[in-house]
C-alpha cells in the first residue's frame, strides 16, 4: 500500500492520521493507497506558494517554459506502461485505454512545448502617424484546476500544460478516486524542472477544498471539468469574485445511422462509443438514432455484440470493458435503468443488471445495456455516465437531426452516411462543439479545440490553441514615437468632405 502526499511549494506532505482517505481498486476492492484530506491551513500554504512562484515564473521566457514541458513529456514516455497500469488499478478502464490516457498527456506536453516557440500576438497599423500598435498575451495568475477521475492524466494535462506555458502557477485538485495518476503527473513535472510553488497538488472534496479555491480572491482562474449541475455552482461562485472560469461539463451524445451507412463501421462505432471507458466519458455515445430502414438489422446485430463483450479486470488483456468507478456509481446507473423500465416504459434489449458473480463479485461491474425508446424519455435526455445507450428509430435525416439537437447538452455528435450532402448538412446543423463524420462520438485530438455548447460548457475550449485564450489575457500595446500628443478617435478630419455632401456618381447608360 502506498502512502500519498500533497505537493505544496515544492515539497511532498504526507497524510496525517485521521485526516486521510483511501484509494481502492474498483475491480477488486483492494486498498491501493492512502492520501491526505487537505485542510484549510494546507490550502493556505498552497495558495501562498503559488502566489509567490507566479511572480518569478511569469518572467521566465516562454520558450524556456516550453522546454520544461518537453522534459516532462520525455519522462512520461519512459514511464508510460507503469503509469498506465497504476491508472487501470485505481479507476478500472482497460489497459489499452489507460495507455491512451497517458499518451494523450504525452502528446499534450509535446504540443504545448512547441507553442513555446509560437506564442504569437499581433502587430497592426495605427490610425495615427508615428505610432506602433501590437497585442501580446499575459498570464492570468494563480489557476485552480479541478479535474475528474475518468481521464485522470489526460484532462489534468489539458489544463496544466497550457496554464504553465502562459506563465501561470497552478493548484491541481484531482478527483479523490484517482490520486495516484495525479501524483504521477506532478512528479514528472517536478523532475522536469518546474520551480517550487509553480505546480501544487492538493487532495480533498469539492465541497471543501474545491469550494475554498473558488471563493479565495487570490485565485484568478478556475478550470473545471465535471457534471453540469456542479459546473453551474462553480460558475456562480467564480462570478462573485470576478474569476475567469472555464467549464467543461456533461453530454448526451448521439450517433446517427442513416439508411445508406456502412453498417459494420457504424456498429463498431456504436460499441466503442457506448461502452468504451464503461460509458464513463462526457463524449460517450448514449443515444443511437437509427433510420427505420436499417433499424431492425442494426439493433439485432448490436445487441448480439453488446452481449458478447467481455467484462472484467482491466489488466486482463482479454477484457473489453472494465468496472464502473465505484459502487455508488453502479447504483446511480441502475437507478436510471429502473427509470427506463418503470417510468419511461422503454424496451430493455440487453443488460440492465449489476454483474456480481465469480471474479466480478468484489468490483463495481455492470452489464452493457441497450434500450429501445423515444427521444423524450428520461434515459434519452439525462446523462447517465455508464454503459447504457438508447436506440431511437427515425424516418429521415431531418428527423434524425431534430432528435439529436433536442437536448440540453451539445458536446459531441456523429453521423454515419455515404451521402456527402447529408454529411455537410450535419456539419452545418449539428448543435455540438464536436462533430464526427463516419466515426463515433469519442476520440478527441490534442491540437483541436475540445468543448461544447448549451449546458455542456460556458464557451471556453480545452486543448489546442483555443486553451491559450482562457489561460492568458490579451494586452494591447501602443508606442507613440511622434514626440507630441496625438488624440486617437478625436475628429482630426474637419476639413474633409462629409460623406453626405460627397458628389454622387454619374451612371452612364449602355455600360
Which helix (H) or strand (E) segment holds residue 467: the answer is helix 467-470
Which stretches of 89-152 are assigned E, i.e. beta strand? 122-124, 131-139, 142-146
Burial class (CB in 10 A: 0-12, 13-18, 19+), 457: buried
Q: What pairing do the DSSP bridges indicate for beta strands 169-173 and 5-8? A: unpaired
Q: 275 is written with which cell numbers?
A: 461502452
**Residues 6 and 202 sit within 8 Å (Cβ to Cβ):** yes
What are the contacts of 481-484 at 24+ separation with CB within 8 A? 481/130, 481/131, 481/132, 482/128, 482/129, 482/130, 482/131, 483/130
The catalytic position among 42, 97, 190, 248 is 248
Which helix (H) or strand (E) segment holds residue 389: the answer is strand 388-394
- Whether 238 is catalytic is no
DSSP letter at 498 equals P
- Whether 143 is catalytic is no
**Residues 164 and 65 sit within 8 Å (Cβ to Cβ):** yes
Q: 499 is written with which cell numbers?
A: 460623406
**Residues 257 and 298 sit within 8 Å (Cβ to Cβ):** yes
The catalytic position among 90, 282, 462, 469 is 282
Other beta carbons less than 10 A from residue 394's beta carbon: 21
**Residues 161 and 116 sit within 8 Å (Cβ to Cβ):** no
How many residues comprise the chain? 511
Other beta carbons less than 10 A from residue 339's beta carbon: 16
Rounded to an integer, what is the distance from CA 430 to the centroid of its chain? Answer: 20
Active site residues: 248, 282
Amino acid at each position: 500500500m502506498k502512502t500519498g502526499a500533497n505537493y505544496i511549494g515544492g515539497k511532498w506532505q504526507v497524510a496525517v492520521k485521521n485526516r486521510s482517505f483511501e484509494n481502492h481498486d474498483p475491480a477488486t476492492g483492494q486498498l491501493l493507497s492512502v492520501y491526505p484530506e487537505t485542510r484549510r491551513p494546507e490550502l493556505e500554504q498552497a495558495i501562498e506558494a503559488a502566489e509567490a512562484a507566479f511572480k518569478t515564473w511569469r518572467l521566465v521566457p516562454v520558450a524556456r517554459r516550453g522546454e520544461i514541458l518537453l522534459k516532462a513529456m520525455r519522462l512520461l514516455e519512459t514511464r508510460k506502461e507503469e503509469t498506465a497500469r497504476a491508472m487501470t488499478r485505481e479507476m478500472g478502464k482497460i489497459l489499452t485505454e489507460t495507455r491512451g490516457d497517458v499518451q494523450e498527456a504525452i502528446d499534450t506536453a509535446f504540443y504545448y512545448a512547441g507553442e513555446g516557440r509560437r506564442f504569437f500576438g499581433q502587430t497592426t497599423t495605427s490610425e495615427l502617424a508615428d505610432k506602433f500598435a501590437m497585442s501580446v498575451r499575459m498570464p492570468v495568475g494563480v489557476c485552480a484546476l479541478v479535474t475528474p477521475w475518468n481521464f485522470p492524466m489526460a484532462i489534468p494535462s489539458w489544463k496544466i500544460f497550457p496554464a504553465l506555458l502562459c506563465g501561470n502557477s497552478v493548484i491541481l485538485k484531482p478527483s479523490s478516486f484517482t490520486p495516484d495518476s495525479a501524483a504521477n503527473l506532478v512528479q514528472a513535472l517536478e523532475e522536469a524542472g518546474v520551480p517550487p510553488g509553480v505546480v501544487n497538488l492538493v487532495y480533498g472534496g469539492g465541497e471543501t477544498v474545491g469550494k475554498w479555491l473558488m471563493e479565495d480572491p487570490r485565485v484568478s482562474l478556475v478550470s473545471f471539468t465535471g457534471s453540469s449541475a456542479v459546473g453551474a455552482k462553480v460558475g456562480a461562485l467564480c462570478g462573485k469574485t470576478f474569476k475567469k472560469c472555464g467549464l467543461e461539463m456533461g453530454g448526451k451524445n448521439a450517433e446517427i445511422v442513416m439508411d445508406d451507412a456502412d453498417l459494420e463501421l457504424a456498429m463498431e462505432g456504436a460499441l466503442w462509443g457506448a461502452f468504451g471507458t464503461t460509458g464513463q466519458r462526457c463524449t460517450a455515445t448514449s443515444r443511437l438514432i437509427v433510420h427505420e430502414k436499417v433499424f431492425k438489422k442494426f439493433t439485432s446485430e448490436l445487441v448480439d455484440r453488446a452481449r458478447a463483450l467481455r467484462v472484467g479486470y482491466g489488466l486482463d488483456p482479454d477484457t473489453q470493458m472494465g468496472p464502473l468507478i465505484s459502487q455508488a456509481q453502479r447504483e446511480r446507473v441502475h437507478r436510471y435503468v429502473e427509470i427506463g423500465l418503470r417510468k419511461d416504459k422503454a424496451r430493455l434489449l440487453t443488460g440492465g443488471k449489476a454483474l456480481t458473480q465469480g471474479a466480478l463479485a468484489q468490483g463495481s461491474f455492470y452489464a452493457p445495456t441497450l434500450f429501445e425508446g423515444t427521444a423524450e424519455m428520461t434515459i434519452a435526455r439525462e446523462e447517465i455516465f455508464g454503459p447504457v445507450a438508447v436506440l431511437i428509430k427515425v424516418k429521415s435525416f431531418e428527423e434524425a437531426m431534430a432528435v439529436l439537437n433536442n437536448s440540453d447538452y451539445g458536446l459531441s455528435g456523429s453521423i454515419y452516411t455515404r451521402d456527402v450532402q447529408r454529411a455537410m448538412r450535419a456539419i452545418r446543423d449539428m448543435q455540438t462543439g464536436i462533430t464526427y463524420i463516419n466515426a463515433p462520438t469519442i476520440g478527441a485530438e490534442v491540437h483541436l479545440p475540445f468543448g461544447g455548447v448549451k449546458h455542456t460548457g460556458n464557451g471556453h475550449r480545452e486543448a489546442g490553441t483555443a486553451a491559450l485564450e482562457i489561460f492568458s489575457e490579451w494586452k494591447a500595446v501602443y508606442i507613440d514615437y511622434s514626440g507630441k500628443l496625438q488624440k486617437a478617435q478625436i475628429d482630426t478630419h474637419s476639413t474633409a468632405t462629409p460623406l453626405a455632401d460627397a458628389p454622387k456618381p454619374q451612371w452612364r447608360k449602355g455600360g
